[in-house]
Each structure stands twice: as C-alpha cells, then as structure tokens.
C-alpha cells in the first residue's frame, strides 16, 4: 500500500490522502515520503493556520509517536508553535509520551523568553528533573538560569548550579555565562567573580556579562579595569560599549566617556553609530557627566529612537534644570513622533517640573498620566509630586496627597516632607511627626533624619534639643555620611570633603578661597545662613564653615587647573535629583561675582589659566 500526498493550489496547504495498492513500494517508503513532504511544508509554513493543518495530517498519518521520524516532526511542530502560540505548543508537548531533550528545551526557551512565563520555565525544569526520563543537557541550563535571573530566584538558581556541577557541565562556556548573569543580577558579585575566574574558556559574552555585573552593582572602576583586560583578547562589541559607557556615566568621567564614544565609533563604525541601545547609553552618559549639550547632539543625530531614547533626554534635561526644554521634548515625542510615553517618561517630566518648582505644570502632567495614558501612578510619581508641593510650601496639599496614596509612603517621601518642614519653618510638632514616620519606616534609621530633625530644632532656636539629637546619634552609633564633591581633570577624578586638607594643592586651594571671600565682600555679597543653623554660633563662624564646603574646594581646584574655555563640572555624592538647581543657585553668585569683578592672574600668581567663558558653561552633574 502506498500513500500519495498532494496539495491543491491554495494560500494555505490543503492535504488529501489517497491509498492505493503498489507492489513495488513498501509501507516504510510511503511513510518516509510523507514525512519528507510534511517537513518541507513545515519549512515553508508562515502562520498557525498552516501549522494546524500540518499537525492534523501528522495525527492522521503517524503510526506511532515513538518513531524517530514522527518524533522529529513533532519537534518541528513544537518549535514553530512555541514561537507563535505557547498554549498550543503546550498541548502539542503533552501529546508526546516521551518527549526528547530538544522538546523540553524548546518549551523551556519559549517560557524563558516570554515576559510573563518565567515562573513556568522553572516549574517545567523541575518537572523535567522529577520525571527523570530525559536529563537536562547543556542547552537546558541557560534557559532556566535566564528565568531565575529575571525573577531574582537566587535559591532556585543555586540549586540549578548544583545540578550543573553534578552533571559535569561546569566547563561549558554558555552555562557559565548564564551563571555569571544570574549571580550578578542577584547581587552576588563575589560568586559571579569565582565563576568567571574558574572558566577554562571565555567568550566575548563572558567578558560582557562580568563587566555588566560590575556596572549594575556600582563597581565602575573595576568594570573599566576588566574592560582593559578584555581588549587584550577580544574586540569589544555593542554590548561591551553599553556597559563601558554606563560605567563612565556612573563615575561622572566625561573625558573617559568621550574616549569610549570615540572607541565605539572607531571599532564599530556605522553599525555602532546606528545602534539604538549604544546611543541611548551615550545620551544618558553625557547628561550624567554634566554635558547635556553633547547629549542633545547625539540624540538629534540618532537615525532611530525608541521610548528609552526620549526618556533619557527628558530625564537628562530635567536633571540640569532645563525644565522647559524637557517639556518641549515631551510634547515633540507624543505629538510629532507619536510615541506613547511610559511610566518612566512621566518620572522625567515630573522631575523636571520639580527642579524648577513648576507646581501647576506638575499637577497637569500627573493628571494627564492617569487620564490620557491610563498609567497607574507608582511611588516614584507620587514622590516627585509630593516633593514639588512640599518645596513650594504647600505642605497641607502634600500631606493630603500622601494620605490618598494607594500604597504606603516610603522613607524618601517622608524625608521630602521633613526637609520642607525645615526650610519653611512650618512648626516643630509637624517636623517631629515626620521624623517619627521616617524612623518607623524600613531603612529610615539613618543619619539623614537626625540631621534634618536637628535643623528643625535649630530653626526654632531650641539648641538643647539639637544637642539631644546629636547625643542620640552618638549613643546609637549613627554617623553623618560626609558630603563629597568630585571634579575630573585630565581624566583623573579628584575628591574633596568639607574642610579637606589632604590634597597636594591644599595650600593653593585655600589661598584661592581667601581671595574669593575678600572679593565677594568687596562687591557686597552677603552669605545665606538659612541652610546652616545647625549650632548656636556666631555668623562669622557659620560663614567660615560654609566657606569650606566641598563644592567650593572643588571649584577652586578647577579654577587652578583647568584651561581656558573648559567648563567646571562638579559632582556631589549626596545630591538628590531635585537639589541640583538649588546647589547651582547658591554656588553661582559667588563665582559670578569673582569673574565679573576681577581676573585672578593679576592678583595672585596661583592661577595657571583663566577663562571668563567658564562661568557661562559651568555645569553640575
């Protein structure tokens, strides 16, 4: 008996089986031809409708699912359906009595790559292991480890790692890459390092995942050191450069970031230049390094942009107090480019409004997010609006918003309210209530709340209570995190603390500060003590304390060492995003007064270079 498979002209394959007596061909030959034809149709299949017809014909003609040819057909059907219809693929999988490792891995891969089926990948792996008919192979583990990393399932990931060791796959490069990614994602940097060091063989991906793990956990210097080692063995690709550029952003190292930009262009050429992810990292890096103008140039030259590109630009402009420009980009994004904003977009928009104290605009965009784009506000959105209202002195409205929030306020929101209580002198009782809320919150027992509470007492001249707070800090062993300001010159980052005397150029720096103070007094500048009422001391003592702030030391060092036309860019470790404009507003007057009234080179011989254009370009990261 022979079987002839014919198809009629149709956009979808249509099957008709006819059985005739043929003494020259046995049944095996007919079935083999049928399988070959079905495989050909599977390779030409373009949608689920065609696949279902092929599957139906397989069910009618297959003699047994144990046949190698039939099993291979089911493997191909499963592979195609897993990419288009996971539920259908699951039903196909359940029809096979003894699925092979390829089938298990196909379904695992579909779960691991899906955004909402990561847990099913882990469950499927356990099911495979419990049945014990087919053991996991080297292709199984990367899929399940990817799911573990996405879910931060460290305990499960460690179990899978144990299985890897037990089955002897610990030298496989792909599995080790997945293990590094898992441990790096879950914050176990030491374990990720051990896996990386013990690898007998490494690929570009191995270096990339290790560098990225360092970047994600804030070890930027180590990431760059590893990048330098990698260059001795492999050419960096787009993923490498994304991590390197992100490390430069984390360090605020503009010169190094510009080198990374040039390196990406030189090594990657047009492909790297057109890479959306690399360009997004560049926009983010230039903004964080204080050069929003270059970020804007990179953004405008991008041949293609996604929502993250716009988010990076809006967030960057807001960070630099360019609220109007940030809002213009938002309007351009939604009206001209027709890109739908996401929740991160509105974090950037609300932050921009917060930077400039644009209360009415902040309310408008918060309502727009909910009404027009159906985005449910998250804690970050409430935090921006609460901080905006509190800084504007609208404490009651901010408190009402907090009470109406569907989630519990975090430490940051309470600290925003306490900070506003300090600055607006709204009353000691309210400040004490805010401090209590912070201390009762998880992670709230830190130096910041004590410092703010002491400011509340100091603003009311309750110096005994200020002393009590400081004694409480001492008794609890709580120490204030020192403010640190850094400045990058010639690719080297210099850090300064308040009253710092450890720098080799300390003498020259303090000489510059003395001259600055004299010149400021001569032009009538009066220091603002409103943010320094921590102790009951005379104004001249407070002025001396303010004059030794780390920002001033860093700027004086910049004036000593930077060439004409080079902007002064300083970075603070304790800054909050909404504080940057206030820092600029308080520091710029005395720099501007110095620049407008005299030239340092004529008064003291300690300045190597002088450039009036610096102040117009002065940027803060």
Q: What confidence tens digit (pLDDT) does each residue in 110-131 have? A: 888 887 888 988 998 988 888 8
Q: Is 452 left (phi over 0), alpha (psi -120 to 50) or beta?
A: alpha
Locate tokens 């590094």: which residue?
180
Q: What confidence tens digit (pLDDT) does each residue in 67-91 have? A: 666 666 667 766 666 676 777 777 7
Average pLDDT score, the chain: 78
Please report how the helices 48-61 and 86-95 are oriented relative to each other, as an axis angle in degrees rounded to 10.
10
Burial of 259 (0-12, 13-18, 19+ CB in 10 A): middle
In the predicted model, is pLDDT for residue 467 greater than 90?
Answer: no
In the predicted model, is pLDDT for residue 141 greater than 70?
Answer: yes
For the chain, counts of helices (H) and of strands (E): 32, 6
Cβ pair 386, 402 in contact under 8 A: yes
What proportion of the chain, given as a percentage, has pLDDT over 90?
A: 36
In the predicted model, is pLDDT for residue 45 greater than 70?
Answer: no
Q: Which of 205, 151, 215 has its CA nearest to residue 178?
A: 205
Q: Would you give the DSSP letter of residue 577?
A: G
In the predicted model, is pLDDT for residue 96 greater than 60?
Answer: yes
Asked which of 326-330, 440-444, 473-477 is least confident by mean pLDDT, the reply is 440-444
Residue 563's H or E segment, with its range, is none
Do the bridges between strand 619-620 and strand 492-497 make them parallel or antiparallel, or are there none, so unpaired?
Answer: unpaired
In the predicted model, is pLDDT for residue 62 greater than 90?
Answer: no
Average pLDDT of span 228-235: 92
Which of residues 491 and 523 earns the better pLDDT score? 523
Q: Quick count: other Cβ atoms within 10 Å of Cβ 139?
A: 17
Q: What confidence tens digit (pLDDT) does each residue in 391-430 have? A: 888 988 988 998 899 988 888 888 888 877 777 666 677 7
Q: What confidence tens digit (pLDDT) does each residue in 142-175 have? A: 999 999 999 999 999 999 999 999 999 999 999 9
Q: What confidence tens digit (pLDDT) does each residue in 548-574 have? A: 778 888 888 988 888 877 788 888 765
Please report how the helices 173-185 and 140-151 are oriented relative to each other, as an axis angle in degrees rounded to 10.
10
The pLDDT assigned to 426 comes to 67
Q: What confidence tens digit (pLDDT) does each residue in 241-299 have? A: 999 999 999 888 888 899 999 988 887 777 777 889 999 999 999 999 889 999 999 99
Tokens of 174: 């792909």
Which of residues 571 and 217 earns the better pLDDT score? 217
Average pLDDT of span 317-329: 93
* Helix-, strand-, coil-residue percentages of the chain, each rounded to 5: 65, 5, 30
SS3 state at 120: helix
The pLDDT assigned to 352 comes to 94
In the predicted model, is pLDDT for residue 612 greater than 60?
Answer: no
Cα(576)–Cα(326) distance, integer angstroms: 18
The pLDDT assigned to 144 comes to 94
Contacts of 346 (CB under 8 A, 6+ apart): 365, 366, 369, 373, 375, 381
Of the pLDDT bands very low, low, confident and very high (cuts 50, 70, 90), residue 63 is: low
Q: Quick count: other Cβ atoms within 10 Å of Cβ 155?
A: 9
The pLDDT assigned to 285 comes to 94
The pLDDT assigned to 397 comes to 92
pTM of structure: 0.74
């Amino acid at each position: 008996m022979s079987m002839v498979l014919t198809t009629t002209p149709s956009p979808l394959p249509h099957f008709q089986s006819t059985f005739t007596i043929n003494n020259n061909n046995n049944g095996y030959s007919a079935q083999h031809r049928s399988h070959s034809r079905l495989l050909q149709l599977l390779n030409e299949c373009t949608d689920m409708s065609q696949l279902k017809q092929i599957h139906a014909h397989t069910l009618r003609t297959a003699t047994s699912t144990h046949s190698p040819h039939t099993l291979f057909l089911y493997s191909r059907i499963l592979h195609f359906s897993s990419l288009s219809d996971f539920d259908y693929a699951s039903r196909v999988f359940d029809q096979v009595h003894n699925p092979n490792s390829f089938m298990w891995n196909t379904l695992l891969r579909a779960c691991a790559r899906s955004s909402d089926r990561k847990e099913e990948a882990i469950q499927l792996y356990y099911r495979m292991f419990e049945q014990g008919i087919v053991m996991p192979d080297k292709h199984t583990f990367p899929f399940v480890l990817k799911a573990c990393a996405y879910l931060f399932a460290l305990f499960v990931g460690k179990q899978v790692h144990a299985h890897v060791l037990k089955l002897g796959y610990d030298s496989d490069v792909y599995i080790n890459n997945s293990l590094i990614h898992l441990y790096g994602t879950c914050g176990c940097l030491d374990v990720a390092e051990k896996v990386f060091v013990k690898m007998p063989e490494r690929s570009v991906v191995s270096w990339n995942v290790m560098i990225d793990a360092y970047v994600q956990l804030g070890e930027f210097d180590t990431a760059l050191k590893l990048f330098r080692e990698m260059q001795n063995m492999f050419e960096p690709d787009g993923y490498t450069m994304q991590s390197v550029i992100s490390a430069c952003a984390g360090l605020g190292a503009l010169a190094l970031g510009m080198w990374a930009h040039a390196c990406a262009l030189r090594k990657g050429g047009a492909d790297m230049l057109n890479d959306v992810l690399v360009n997004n990292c560049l926009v983010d890096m230039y903004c964080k390094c204080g050069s929003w103008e270059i970020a804007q140039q990179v953004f405008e030259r991008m041949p293609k942009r996604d929502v993250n590109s716009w988010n990076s630009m809006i967030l960057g402009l807001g960070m630099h107090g360019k609220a109007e420009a940030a809002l213009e980009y938002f309007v351009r994004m939604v009206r001209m480019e027709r890109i739908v904003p996401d929740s991160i977009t509105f974090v950037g928009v609300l932050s921009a409004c917060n930077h400039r104290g644009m209360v009415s605009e902040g309310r408008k965009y918060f309502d727009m997010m909910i009404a027009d784009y159906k985005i449910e506000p998250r804690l970050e959105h409430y935090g921006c609006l609460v901080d905006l209202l509190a800084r504007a002195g609208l404490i009651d409205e901010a408190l009402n918003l907090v009470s109406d929030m569907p989630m519990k306020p975090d430490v940051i929101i309470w600290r925003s309210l306490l900070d506003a209580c300090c600055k607006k002198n709204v009353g000691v009782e309210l400040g004490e209530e805010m401090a209590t809320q912070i201390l009762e919150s998880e992670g709230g027992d830190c130096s910041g709340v004590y410092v703010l509470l002491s400011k509340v007492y100091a603003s009311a001249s309750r110096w005994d209570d200020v002393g009590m707070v400081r004694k409480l800090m001492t008794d609890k062993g709580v120490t204030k995190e020192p403010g640190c300001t850094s400045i990058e010159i010639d690719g080297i980052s210099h850090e300064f603390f308040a009253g710092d005397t450890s720098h080799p150029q300390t003498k020259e720096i303090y000489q510059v500060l003395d001259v600055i103070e004299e010149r400021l007094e001569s032009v009538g500048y009066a220091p603002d003590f409103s943010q320094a009422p921590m102790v009951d001391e005379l104004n001249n003592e407070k002025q001396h304390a303010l004059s030794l702030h780390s920002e001033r030391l860093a700027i004086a060092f910049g004036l000593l060492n930077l060439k004409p036309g080079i902007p002064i860019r300083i970075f603070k470790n304790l800054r909050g995003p909404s504080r940057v404009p206030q820092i600029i507003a308080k520091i710029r007057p005395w720099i501007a007064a110095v620049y407008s009234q005299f030239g340092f080179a004529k008064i003291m011989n300690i300045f190597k270079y002088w450039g009036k254009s610096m102040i117009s370009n002065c940027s803060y990261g």
